[in-house]
Structure 1
Amino acid sequence: MSVELNHTIIHARANRESAEFLAHILDLEVGAEWGPFVPVALSNGVTLDFATIPAESIAPQHYAFLISDDEFDAALERIQRAGITYYADPALKQAGEINRHHGGRGLYFMDPVGHGMEIITRPYGSLTP
């Protein structure tokens, strides 16, 4: 059997709120609560399990999602409609802009607890035209 990532736990102040936030941006479904987790399944079989923990215990993490150009356009529209600030860079200096790294497009935004979320249309290391 080859090694694959199956799931990861994302800490949140409110598991359902964080799961619904990301699911809305990425046009995904929020699964049924299972124990302390609210899952969001990705198309590659990985599940993000959102778990509520005390706010002071949350260490901000970074999550990057590879999506198609059409999905990027739709996600950007949802981000803009929701009034979420987005950035072209991980240092969060280029607000309201996207990047064009690796021959694709990308942007960064923060989730409700401060995790850095990134959407890209080309994986890092792709050749630029």
Structure 2
Amino acid sequence: MTTKSKLTIISILTYCAFIIFALFTDVLSPAKIGITWTIFWYIAAAGIIYYLWFKNLIFQRVMYFSKALGLTQTDLAKMLPNLKPSQVVPDPSKPAILAPVFTFPLQGLDILNAKLTPMAKEKGIKPFR
């Protein structure tokens, strides 16, 4: 099973768990908060789940290419312009199941992905699955 499939299944199950929780606890009941807010929170939860799915997918791709190219955390940090002191670049040598949510932005992952994908293609590394 590919990483994309695994992350998709996890995301769908997480959203289903959110819906089941909301239905059985009446937290988002239209009678309590109104139909507008109920719809808003269901859509917001779907958006958050999609964002996390996408960020984790890009993160896994970046870590895959980093490991295959033998890059270190400092090598990745050198590839990023305008790195803030609060941003911690992920370390390819340490196993990470999920992307860092608060310490590293999606924009940084996109920059690394754009730089690592052509490098991996040049070296003949298999595409990320």
- Which structure dedicates a bigger proportion of its chain to strand? 1
Q: TM-score, normalised by structure 2?
A: 0.25
Name the structure, 1 or 2, with higher relative contact order (CA <8 Å, separation 6+): 2
Structure with more helix by fraction? 2
Could you say which structure has the larger radius of gyration? 2
